[in-house]
């Protein structure tokens, strides 16, 4: 089954741009990325779009479709009526490079600032031992494909450019939580989570969890537990006393 889909695609660069209307053939079973590719191959050879796997595994083709942050490769055309106009715009939280491609370097900068994984030594036989039940919590967060849709939707940075300096965004708060729950990691990142990465700024609206294409419970399973751990450290009276008398308490 083939029909003419109506697309409205943002075209432009850092200096500005506009929505342009296109009519592009769409076939049975296709996703928005297929139609964008056809647009590129037949009408707009220089239309800039990032993509790789086209199977929801790499997190490259993030955009906003009818205003909602989504992966283009996982948005089926059948979710729209044939006469709907499908509006595709670049992620709003990041500076536009060109057309649907944005500058996501904010994310790579935050990633580089997080204190690295610091493992305990191996057992005498050269292996690490961990129980499945203990790896499963951080494993959920390692499903993250770094599409940065959670970063895009998060209103802490979406509407407040200044906050980018002090707020790492859901993806990297989740990375901090992951390291905190990693059975082999030995480093305490609670202080930096609060002071450098702004875990306190998250007010748990759960928008990030809603747009996550991997269905990770970012807020419930990562950020809230991280907040609790940070608060624990900060307000627990014994911890406080320990810190005051200069001896680091065992946590």
Partner 1 sequence: MAELERHHYDVVVIGAGGAGLRAAIEAQASGARVAVVCKSLLGKAHTVMAEGGIAAAMANVYPEDNWQVHFRDTMRGGKMLNHWRMAQLHAQEAPDRVRELEDWGALFDRTPAGLISQRDFGGHRYARLAHVGDRTGLELIRTLQQRVVALGIDVFMECTVTRLMTGPDGITGAFGYWRESGRFISWQAPSVVLATGGIGKSYKVTSNSWEYTGDGHSLALQAGATLVNMEFVQFHPTGMVWPPSVRGILVTESVRGDGGVLKNSEGTRFMFDYIPEYFRKETADTIEEADRWYDDKRNNRRPPELLPRDEVARAINSEVKAGRGTEHGGVYLDIASRRSKEYILKRLPSMYHQFMELAEVDITAEPMEVGPTCHYVMGGVEVDPDTAAAKIPGLYAAGEVAGGMHGSNRLGGNSLSDLLVFGRRAGASAAAYAQAHPVTAAQLDDDAVAEAGKAALAPFEREGGENPYTIQHDLQQTMNDLVGIIRTEPEMREALDRIEELKKRVANLSVEGHRQYNPGWHLALDLPHMLKVSECIAKAALERQESRGGHTRDDFPGPTPEWGALNVICSEHDGSISLLRQPLPQMPEDLATLFEETPA
Instruction: Give the binding site for partner 1 (CB under 8 A).
Output: 13, 27-31, 34, 40-42, 45-60, 74, 76, 97-99, 101, 104, 108, 111-112, 116-117, 119, 122, 126-132, 135, 138-139, 142-146, 179, 182, 184-185, 214-215
Q: Nearer to partner 1 by C-beta: 116 or 124?
A: 116
Q: Shortest approach of partner 1 to residue 7 CB, angstroms? A: 16
Q: Shortest approach of partner 1 to residue 242 CB, angstroms? A: 29
Q: Nearer to partner 1 by C-beta: 21 or 136?
A: 136
Q: Nearer to partner 1 by C-beta: 34 or 64?
A: 34
Q: Shortest approach of partner 1 to residue 139 CB, angstroms? A: 5
Q: Nearer to partner 1 by C-beta: 31 or 208?
A: 31
Q: Shortest approach of partner 1 to residue 52 CB, angstroms? A: 4
Query: What is the rounded distance in angstroms from the CA atom of residue 141 to the CA atom of residue 143?
Result: 5
Q: Shortest approach of partner 1 to residue 76 CB, angstroms? A: 8
Query: What is the rounded distance in angstroms from the CA atom of residue 240 to the CA atom of residue 248?
Result: 10
Q: Is the dihedral of CA 228, 231, 236, 240 positive or negative?
A: positive
Q: Nearer to partner 1 by C-beta: 54 or 234?
A: 54
Q: Shortest approach of partner 1 to residue 50 CB, angstroms? A: 7
Q: Nearer to partner 1 by C-beta: 143 or 155?
A: 143
């Amino acid at each position: 089954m083939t029909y003419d889909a109506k697309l409205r695609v943002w075209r432009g660069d850092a200096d500005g741009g506009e929505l342009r209307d296109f009519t592009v053939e769409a076939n049975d079973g296709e996703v928005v990325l297929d139609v964008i590719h056809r647009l590129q191959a037949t009408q707009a050879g220089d239309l800039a779009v990032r993509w790789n796997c086209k199977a929801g595994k790499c997190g490259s083709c993030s955009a906003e479709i009818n205003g909602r942050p989504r992966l283009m490769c996982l948005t089926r055309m059948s979710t729209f009526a044939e006469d709907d106009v499908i509006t595709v715009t670049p992620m709003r939280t990041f500076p536009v490079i060109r057309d649907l491609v944005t500058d996501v370097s904010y994310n790579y900068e935050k990633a580089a600032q997080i204190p690295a994984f610091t493992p305990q030594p191996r057992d005498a036989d050269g292996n690490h031992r961990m129980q499945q039940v203990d790896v499963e919590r951080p494993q959920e967060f390692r499903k993250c494909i770094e599409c940065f849709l959670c970063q895009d939707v998060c209103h802490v940075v979406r509407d407040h450019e200044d906050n980018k300096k002090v707020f790492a965004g859901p993806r990297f708060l989740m990375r901090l939580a992951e390291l905190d729950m990693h059975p082999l990691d030995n480093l305490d990142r609670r202080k930096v989570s609060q002071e450098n990465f702004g875990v306190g700024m998250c007010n748990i609206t759960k928008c990030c969890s809603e747009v996550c294409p991997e269905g990770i419970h970012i807020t419930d399973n990562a950020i809230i537990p991280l907040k609790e751990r940070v608060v624990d450290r900060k307000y627990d009276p014994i911890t406080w006393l320990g810190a005051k008398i200069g001896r680091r308490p065992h946590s």
